[in-house]
Structures are given as structure tokens and as C-alpha cells.
Amino acid sequence: MSDAPVVRIGAGDASPLRTARELWMYRDLFSALGVRDLRLRYRQTALGVAWVVLQPLLAAGIFSFVFGRIAKVPTDGQPYLLFSLAALIGWNFFSSVLTRASTSLIQNPQLVTRVYFPRLILPLAVVPAAFVDLLVTVAAFVVILFAQGRAPVATFIALPLVVLLFGALALGTGFAAAALAVRYRDVQYLLPVAIQMALYASPVAYSASAVPARWMQLYYLNPLAAPIELMRWSLLGTPAPAFNHLAYSIAAALTLWLAGTWIFRRIEQSFADEI
């Protein structure tokens, strides 16, 4: 009786080249999961895609009352509704990608435990639905601009690059959170609290110009501060963030992406045992 060869199906090495090659090979799976996520998001909802517009509009309305009318925070010369809505477009994309990516593994145990594929596809597959939400919200923003007798500014063409920066920050953090959530389930409870704290630590409801000068350097340690200002610049033409602050956010996005991918790939081989 001869010994049959043993074939081990696993994650293999975690080199960037192998990771990129595997993701490309499984691009059809990425598409299928992305479409599935988009369909499930609005299944059995009475208002459907209208929720995408209502959520940021309601938040912008609350911010307008609290920070615009009561606190009277500076808005760089813009109507407060547009000022806050422009920031919420970027913020909602970031928080949506991060939140869904962080739970993408523990919500799909049947995929993780039964068949091999590059597990990075699961957090990556949340991006299409979040991107569609962003497009719908941007379209609503443009409609509001026209309703107020205004037109999109020339800096609008830079919007894809701003979205790319938000996506890199969200996915880099999401890769690490998704992998750690498999091993430490506390992550799925701590992350929403951290995101809520980051909302108020970022210039979403207020302008960075409202931050006292003595706190400015500490404030810009938040890598989301410059991208949110950049989102307002692209949509409304408000002052752009300083180059050094933007460069810091770009460096942070690259670092988070590399670190998150490394953490994910290091823990990946134990997913099936711990999920």
C-alpha cells in the first residue's frame, strides 16, 4: 500500500507579489461578493437606496442646528448644510468601509472554513457597495448645489483621488481589524466606539480653523483631518490643507495599508481554526 501524496491548501507566503497575483486570479469572486453585498444591503428595505441620502442629510441637519445655529462654528464662508454634508460624504465612506471590512470574516465563516481563496477578498469586497453609496450621496450633493444656484467647482475633478485616500485609510485599518476580530471578538465592540470618537476628533462638524493654534500640531496627528479638509476643498473650493499635513495623511495611509496587510496575512493561516 503506497502512501498517497499530501497536498496542503493554505495561505502560502505573505509576499506582496504573491498576494497581488492571488487577488487578480480570484477577481471573479471579488465581483460576485461585491454584487452580493450590494444586493443584501437594500433587500427588504422600504426606502431602498434613499437611505444612502437620508442618513447624511439627517446628520448634516442635526449638525446644522447644534454647531451652525447654537455653537456658530466657522464654516469657511460656506452654508453650514453644504459644509457639513461635504465632510460627511468622505467620513461615511471611510466609516462604512472600515466597519464592514472589520466584520467581513466573522460574518462569512462558511466561506473561510470550507475552501481556500485569498481571504483579503472578503474585506476588499465591501468597497463596491460603499462606493455606490458615495456616488449616490455625491449626486445628491450636486443637486443641492444647483438648487441653491451654485455649480460644482473646478476642484471637483480631484474627488477620485480624495476618495482613494479615504479608501486606503479605511482598508488598511480594516484589514488589521478583520484579522484581529477573528482572534479577539472584543474588536467588533470596541471599533464602533473608536469610530464615534474619531468623528468628533475630525473636522466633520466644524472647521479645522476652529482648533486653537496651540493644539494644531496635535490635532493633525489624526490622519483623517487633512483628507476631510481635502474633501471640502474638492466639493466646495474651501482652503486646502497644508502640504505637510496632507503628506502626513498619505504616509499614514500607506503605512496602515502595508501594516494591515501584513497583520492580516500573518494571522490568515489560523482563521479556519479560530473563526
Better pLDDT: 200 or 272: 200
Which pLDDT value is given to residue 142? 93
Q: Has residue 191 got a pLDDT over 70? A: yes
Digit-coded pLDDT (tens) for 226-268: 999 999 999 999 999 999 999 999 999 999 999 999 999 888 8
Q: Which of the four pLDDT bands, split at 50, 70 and 90, describes residue 76?
A: confident
| Percent of the chain surpassing pLDDT 70 | 90
Alpha-carbon distances, residue 183 vs 51, 100, 178, 261, 264 (angstroms)? 33, 17, 9, 16, 11
Q: Can you tell me the distance from the alpha carbon of 187 to that of 29, in angstroms, rounded to the nearest whole number?
A: 27
User: For the purposes of burial, counting CB atoms within 10 Å of the CB of 13, is it exposed (0-12), middle (13-18) or buried (19 or more)?
Assistant: exposed
Better pLDDT: 40 or 267: 267
Q: Can you tell me the distance from the alpha carbon of 53 to that of 155, in angstroms, rounded to the nearest whole number?
A: 23
Q: Which of the four pLDDT bands, split at 50, 70 and 90, describes residue 5?
A: very low
Q: Has residue 126 got a pLDDT over 90? A: yes
Q: Has residue 95 got a pLDDT over 70? A: yes
Q: Can you tell me the distance from the alpha carbon of 272 to that of 87, in angstroms, rounded to the nearest whole number?
A: 39
The answer to the question of residue 32 being in a domain is: yes
Q: Has residue 12 got a pLDDT over 60? A: no
The answer to the question of residue 183 being in a domain is: yes
CB atoms within 10 A of CB 135: 13
Alpha-carbon distances, residue 135 vs 132, 141, 215, 237 (angstroms)? 5, 10, 34, 19
Q: Has residue 161 got a pLDDT over 60? A: yes
The answer to the question of residue 6 being in a domain is: no
The answer to the question of residue 128 being in a domain is: yes
Range of the domain at 158: 16-274
The answer to the question of residue 7 being in a domain is: no
The answer to the question of residue 189 being in a domain is: yes
The answer to the question of residue 264 being in a domain is: yes
Q: Has residue 96 got a pLDDT over 60? A: yes
> Which segment, 156-165, 194-203, 212-221, is predicted with the most confidence on average?
156-165
Which pLDDT value is given to residue 72? 78
Better pLDDT: 242 or 59: 242
Q: Which of 16-20, 24-28, 148-152 has the lowest mean pLDDT?
A: 16-20
Which pLDDT value is given to residue 7? 40
Q: How many domains does the chain have?
A: 1
Q: Can you tell me the distance from the alpha carbon of 167 to that of 172, in angstroms, rounded to the nearest whole number?
A: 8
Q: Can you tell me the distance from the alpha carbon of 128 to that of 139, in angstroms, rounded to the nearest whole number?
A: 17
Q: Average pLDDT for residues 166-193, to the nearest whole number?
A: 93
Q: Which of the four pLDDT bands, split at 50, 70 and 90, describes residue 168?
A: very high
Which pLDDT value is given to residue 9? 46
> Which segment, 20-29, 51-60, 76-85, 224-233, is predicted with the most confidence on average?
224-233
The answer to the question of residue 5 being in a domain is: no
Q: Average pLDDT for residues 98-124, to the nearest whole number?
A: 89
